[in-house]
Amino acid sequence: MQIEVTHDYGYRVRYIECMVEENGEEYKVWERSYACRGGYHGMVCEGETPLTETFLITRSFGLGLHEIRVIAYDEFGNSGSSSIVVNLTEPPPPPQPAPSVTPSLNVLRRDNYFFGHANNR
């Protein structure tokens, strides 16, 4: 599953993580850190907002409802999060091939008619 998230929490992002809940358990499925350095006005992080990240969840999850939560942290440890709930269902069955029609000719009866000339006497 590929997800694109745009963060606009009003502060610089230092770290992002994505958690997925399944059966009451949370699993970290993606994370990224951004470089930060001390500057004249405090910490400066490269994760300027709004920030768009696209990430791929490769872990398999069972069927049912799952919450996907993305949490972003700033250079001071403050955080903001966004979440969505997805319902994983069985994939639809593959389409069945269209029936093909092959014309065939079955001869059930064959009548032969012979036309002769009548002899008039």
Handedness of CA 39, 42, 46, 49 (dihedral sign): negative
pLDDT at 49: 61
For the sheet with 79-88, list strands across it. 25-33, 15-22, 64-73, 79-88
| pLDDT score of 112 | 59
Upstream peptide bond of 50 is cis (omega within 30 degrees of 0): yes
**Within 10 A of 58 (CB to CB), how many other CB atoms are there?**
9
pLDDT in tens, 79-97: 888 888 888 888 778 888 8
pLDDT digits (tens, 9 = 90+) for 10-45: 667 778 888 888 888 888 888 888 777 666 655 556
Q: Average pLDDT in the 54-60 region?
A: 78
Tokens 């969840």 belong to which residue? 57
More confident residue, 4 or 43: 4
- Asked whether the predicted pLDDT for residue 113 surpasses 80, the reply is no
- Are 53 and 16 contacting, i.e. CB atoms less than 8 angstroms apart? yes
Structure tokens given for 99: 């029936």
Q: Which of 40, 100, 37, 32 is nearest to 70 (CA)?
A: 32
Domains of the chain: 2-88 (2.60.40.10)
pLDDT above 80 (res 65): yes
pLDDT bucket at 99, cuts 50 / 70 / 90: confident
